[in-house]
Amino acid sequence: MSKILITGGGGYVGSMLSTALINLGHEVTVLDLMKYDQGSLNHLFYNKKFKLIKKDVRDIKILRSLIKKNEYIIPLAALVGAPLCDKFKKDAILINHKSIKTLVSLCTKKNKIIFLTTNSGYGVGEKNKFCDENSPLNPISLYGRTKCDAEEEVTKAKNYICFRLATVFGFSYRMRTDLLVNNFVYKSVKSKKLTIFEPHFRRNFIHIRDVVLGIIFAIKNFNKLKSNIYNLGLSSANISKLTLAKKIKKNMKGLKIKIITNRKDPDKRDYFVSNKKIEKKGFKARTSLNQGIEELITLFNVDNKKVINNY
C-alpha cells in the first residue's frame, strides 16, 4: 500500500477520494484548511492510516515535510470555478498556479504527481469536432487560465499524470450545487422549474465516483500512464445544456423548462471532448448521466440542509 498526500482533500472531489483510498488500505494525509465544510472528513478520523493537517497549502515548510514523507502527491487544493476566482483574483493565482509551481519544485524522483485540471481550458471548441489532448488551449476565465498554467508546471516534472476533468456531478461528503448537473437538478427539485439560457452550449460530464476510480486506476498503472495528459470524462455525456434539461425532465414529469433568449451565459465554454486516449489505456467512466440524475433527485428530495457552495 502507498503513502499518499492529498492537498485540498476535504473538498468536493478530495473527500470522496480520501475515503476511497483509505478503504483500499492506503495511508492518506490530507492538507486542507477545511474552509467550506468542517465535517467532510469526520467519518475517517477512526482510521489510524488517516491524518488531517489543517494548514494552508502555501505553507512551504509544512508542504516540504509532507512531500518527503509521501510517495503519491495529489494536489487538489484550489479556488475552484470562475466566479470564486473572479472574486479572489490574487488568491486564485497564488493557490491555483504558484503553489503548484512550488510543489513541483519540492518533489523528487521518488514522488509521483497526479494532477487534476479542467477541460474548461478548451474554451470554445469547433462545432463538429471533438477536443482532444492536442487541441489548442484557449481558457476563457481566470480559473481556466490558472489551471492551464499549473498543468504546464506539472508537466516539467518527470513523474506526473494530468487529468483534464469534464464537469463533475454526483453526491459528495462536501456537497456542491454550483456544478452544472447538480445545479440543474437542485433547482428542478426545489422549484419544479428550470430556466436556462444559451441552451446550445455543449459540455462533457463525469460522475464523481468515476473521477475517483480514474485516480485509483492511475495509481495502479502509474508507469503505463505517466508523463502524459488525459481527458477524463464520460463519453456518452457530451451534450448541450438543453439536452441535459430534457434528461432531467424525463425523471421529473412535471418539470417546466423555460429558455431565455436575451441573456448571456458568463461561462462561455462550449465544446465536446474526446476521452479516447484514457479509454485506450484501459479506463472508461461507467456511471451514466441518468444514474447521477436519479441519485441527485433522491438526495435533494430527502436532504433539506443548506448546501454551501464555493462562492
- The answer, yes or no, to whether residue 261 has pLDDT greater than 90, is no
- Mean pLDDT value across residues 33-55: 96
Asked if pLDDT for residue 125 goes beyond 80, the answer is no
pLDDT band at residue 83, thresholds of 50, 70 and 90? confident
Percent of the residues in the chain that have a pLDDT greater than 70, as a whole number: 97
The reported pLDDT for the residue numbered 268 is 63
Record the cell numbers describing residue 193, joined without a space.
Answer: 422549474
**Residue 271: pLDDT band with limits 50, 70, 90:** confident
Q: What is the pTM of this model?
A: 0.95
15 domain residue, yes or no? yes
- Examine residue 289 and state whether it is found in any structural domain, yes or no: no
Q: Is residue 246 part of a domain?
A: no
How many angstroms separate the Cα of 250 from the Cα of each of 185, 191, 229? Answer: 12, 16, 36
Q: How many domains does the chain have?
A: 1
User: What domain range includes position 23?
Assistant: 3-169+204-235
Residue 240 lies in a domain: no
Asked, for residue 247, whether it belongs to a domain, the answer is no
| pLDDT class of 306 with cuts at 50, 70, 90 | low
pLDDT at residue 226 in the model? 96
Q: Looking at the domain assignment, is residue 103 inside a domain?
A: yes
pLDDT digits (tens, 9 = 90+) for 126-155: 777 899 999 999 888 899 999 999 999 999
216 within a domain of the structure (yes/no): yes
In a domain, 198, yes or no: no
Question: Exposed (0-12), middle (13-18) or buried (19+): which is 282, by Cβ within 10 Å?
Answer: exposed
Looking at this protein, which amino acid is placed at residue 144?
A: G
Could you tell me the CATH number of the domain that includes residue 61?
A: 3.40.50.720
Give residue 262's Cα distance to chain centre: 31
